[in-house]
Amino acid sequence: LKRPTAVKILKPALATEELIERFEREVTLASRLQHPATVEIFDHGRTRDGTFYYAREYIDGINLAQLVEKDGAQSAPRVAHILKQVCESLREAHGKGIVHRDIKPANIMTCERGGESDVAKVLDFGLVKDVRATDTRDITQFARMLGTPTYMAPERIRNPAEASPAVDIYAVGAVAFLLLTGKRVFDAPNELELARIVLEVEAPRASAVAKQAIPRGLDALIARCLAKDPSARPLR
């Protein structure tokens, strides 16, 4: 169709059994999702030399990490607009038993589509897990390697194989905190200390850190998303 396309490949030198399984899982599960805020998968397979690849829609935009780095904290209405789309994408995924497990600013892009600005796209399902499947093993080695404590729920730090919608909701709260304040929920000189803080220290309110006024309801919602107890997070 001669449309712009992004192609992701798995370099042969890295093609271990576990990485191949992770790569195939990513494309297989992501291709089940149809929400406009979820990246669309066009095709996947192997090249003639056996290299795994998949093709997805090309997104001409900026990810949320770049957005904050470039422009700082964003207005509450803009943050709510972007993250509403992200939550709708996750609602479809969760409804199909699919948990992303790597929601973070770098994996969410905003772009312009059909004359609409700030159209959100959820990317990179590399740590995705189908919680309804009983015949697939979890790749905990790569969950440890690729997850970042900054956006990981406490229960995933304790057990990297943890897969429930609540871990995605926690990450959405951490992304919202960054967008509204320009700062991460927690910071530390190294990942070990950061993991300890995520486990032990209650998250501050976005309203206590942001230089702008945060609507009371939004502030309370983010605090619920960042609750240590998964059952206290809003799942609907």
Beta strand 61-63 with 98-99: parallel, antiparallel or unpaired?
Answer: unpaired
Which position among 43, 49, 60, 102 bears the catalytic label?
102
Active site residue 102: yes
Q: Kindly list the catalytic residues.
A: 102
